[in-house]
Amino acid sequence: MQPTSELVGPALRARTFGSMGTVISLTVPAGAVPGAAGGEAKLDAATAAVERVFAGLDETFSLYRPDSEASRLARGELCLRDSSAGMRDRYADALTWRLRTEGAFSPERPDGVLDLSGLIKGYAIGQAGEALRSRGITDWCLNAGGDVLVTGSPVPGSGASWAAGVVDPLDRSALLAAYELGGPGTRCALATSGSAERGDHIWAAGFGARTAGSSGAEFVQVSVAAANIVTADVLATAIVAGGTAMLHRATDGWEIDVLAVRRGGELLATPGFRA
């Protein structure tokens, strides 16, 4: 365990819970939830709400749960036509993304199983954000297994941005770069995808026949900052799958910032990551 260092930054409060096979962290500024006594309770309630969002989606879409709708679909017990509206909507979203990324992002595994996990985590974060906003919490930072969505500022009312650090894939105890989220900028979501990661939704991409797994991937890690967490999540996945061509298509077609790490450790980045 890393020794905890003296906190010099803004005063923050955090809650964590496990879901979708990873850990979700909700961080809010200390004064964000009003009322000293009621504040903690409110934070707990908000965390519970976020946890419910994740749990609900995990129950439907997780392929690791044998009784989830996704697993039943995979086994053939259910056909897509008879599936829930939520399943079909997310599938439609995934297909749209497949079109936009020209196949680099695809919800279908090579074995034909429908795996929407690449989309669901981002979607869950977005839904959780809505839940937080509806509770009147205006400054928060939600991190679900490395995908970050923020609103407001770590120092409420100051206009300062949240700072997210990007992990160095070659040394996971060190940071490669920082990126400012929220605040005056438009980007409030940061998603990172890697080719050596849990969740094998980076199989052979649409163009350029690449074998599944890390052996053929050009980029070992890609971080995408965007205005929307699903966009960031999908594009990060797509760029890892699709390589340089997809990288350029993504930067051309969307307002994003990208930090891509090559297998040899070289970096490719848009101006937003520059010092």
Partner 1 sequence: MRTRAAVSAALASAGILIAGWQSGLHVADTGSSVASAAAGSTGSSGSSGTSGSAGASGSSGSSSSSSAGGTTGASAKAVGTYAGSVVQTRFGSVQVQITVQAGKITDVTALQLTDAERKSVQISNRAAPLLRTEVLAAQSADVQTISGATVTSDAYLNSLQAALDAANL
Q: Identify which of 239, 128, 147, 250 has the alpha carbon closest to the alpha carbon of residue 189.
A: 147
Q: CA 52, 145, 67: angle at the middle one, nearest 5?
A: 50
Q: Which position among 62, 179, 210, 218 is part of the footprint of partner 1 (CB under 8 A)?
A: 179
Minimal distance, residue 235 CB to partner 1, in Å: 12
Please state the φ and ψ torsions of residue 92, each to the nearest 5 degrees: -60, -45
Among 147, 238, 241, 243, binds partner 1 (CB under 8 A): 147
Window 247-266: residues binding partner 1 (CB under 8 A) = 247-249, 251-253, 255-260, 266
Q: How far is CA 69 from CA 83, 112, 139, 257, in A?
A: 8, 16, 34, 35
Binding status of residue 12 toward partner 1 by CB under 8 A? yes
Residue where the block lists tokens 């010099």: 8
Amino acid present at 175: L
Instruction: Rule CB under 8 A: choose which of 129, 145, 152, 243 binds partner 1.
Output: 145
- Asked if residues 142 and 150 have their Cβ atoms less than 8 Å apart, the reply is yes
Q: Does 214 bind partner 1 (CB under 8 A)?
A: no
Among 95, 196, 200, 211, binds partner 1 (CB under 8 A): 196
Does residue 242 bind partner 1 (CB under 8 A)? Answer: no
From 162, 183, 238, 242, residue interacting with partner 1 (rule: CB under 8 A)? 162
Between β-strands 22-29 and 12-19, what pairing exists: parallel, antiparallel or unpaired?
A: antiparallel
| Listed ranges 16-24, 42-50, 92-100, 127-135: which one lies at the site for partner 1 (CB under 8 A) | 16-24
In angstroms, give the least distance from the CB of 220 to partner 1. 9
Distance linking the first and last C-alpha atoms of the chain? 30
Site for partner 1 in 87-126 (CB under 8 A): 121
